[in-house]
Amino acid sequence: MDALLRRNDDVARGLRDAWTRCGTLAVNLLSGPGSGKTALLEASLPLLAERHRVLVLEGDLETDRDARRIHRAGADVVAITTGGTCHLEAGLVERAWGAAPGGPYDIVFIENVGNLVCPASYDLGEHLRVVLLSAPEGDDKPAKYPKAFRTAHAFAVTKIDLLPHFDFSVERARREALEIQPRLEVFALSARTGEGIDAWVRYVERAAAERIAIPR
C-alpha cells in the first residue's frame, strides 16, 4: 500500500509541476455522495467561463451521468470511471488530462468520486483541495472525517438554502473544521439560489491569478 501511495505521489508531483508551468490552476473537489460537487460546478462554470478556459475531469465509480451534466453546462469535460475503485488516483487523472479536448486551460477542476474517506489520502496534483459538506449531512461531520478536512485548503458548506429544515449550524461546522485545519477558507453557499457562489468564484479566480500553490 505504501508503495502504491508513493507511486501516486510521484505522478501527482509531476502533474502539479506541469500544471504550474502551464499556468493552470488545479482544484480537487472532495465530498461524500450527493453533497453537491457537480451542482457547485454547474453554478460556477457560467461565471468562470466569462474570463477563463475551464476543463472538468469528472470522476465516478460507474456511469458518465455527471460528465453529461457538466457537458450540458458548456464546459470541456473528460469522464473518469474508476470501475468501482473508491477514489481517484493521480495516474487516472494524468491519463484523463492527456485526453482533454482542447487547451490551454486556466483552471482544471477534478471532481473526485463521492467518498469522504479514501480520496483524502490521494494527492492528484491539485493546487487547491476543497472539501464539501451539505447541510442535510449534519454539522458533526468534520471531526468524524478529519483527514478530508485536515488536507483541504477550503471548506464549502453547500445547500444552505435548506438550513431552515435542519439543525445544522454553519458556525459550529466552521469552528470544528478550523480546529482540524486552521488555514481553511470557509464558504457557505447554495447552488440552487446562487447565494455565496460569487465569493467562491472570486476565490478560485484569485487563486488562478496568483498561481497559488500552497505547500502540501
Locate 213 and state its grid cell: 500553490
Q: How far apart are CA 133 and CA 122, in angstroms?
A: 19
Quickly tell me which residue has 476543497 as its cell.
130
Stretch that binds its own copies, among 14-22, 71-79, 88-96, 107-115 (CB under 8 A): 107-115
Task: Pick out residues in 190-209 that bind its own copies (CB under 8 A).
Answer: none
Order of strands across the sheet with 76-81? 76-81, 54-60, 107-111, 25-30, 128-134, 154-158, 185-188
What is the length of the chain? 216
- Decide whether 165 or 211 has the Cβ nearer to its own copies: 165
Contact range with its own copies by CB under 8 A, out of 47-55, 129-137, 182-190, 208-216:
129-137
Build a one-symbol-per-residue string for 32-61: x at contacts with its own copies by CB under 8 A, - elsewhere. Answer: xxx-------------------------xx
Q: For residue 159, is it left (φ>0), alpha (ψ between -120 and 50) or beta?
A: left
* Residue in 17, 140, 179, 195 binding its own copies, rule: CB under 8 A: 140
* H helix and E strand count, the chain: 8, 7
Q: Using CB under 8 A as the criterion, what x/- string covers residues 145-164 for binding its own copies?
A: xxx-----------x--x--
Residues lying near its own copies in the complex (CB under 8 A) are found at 32-34, 60-63, 65, 84, 86, 113-118, 134, 136-138, 140-141, 143-147, 159, 162, 165
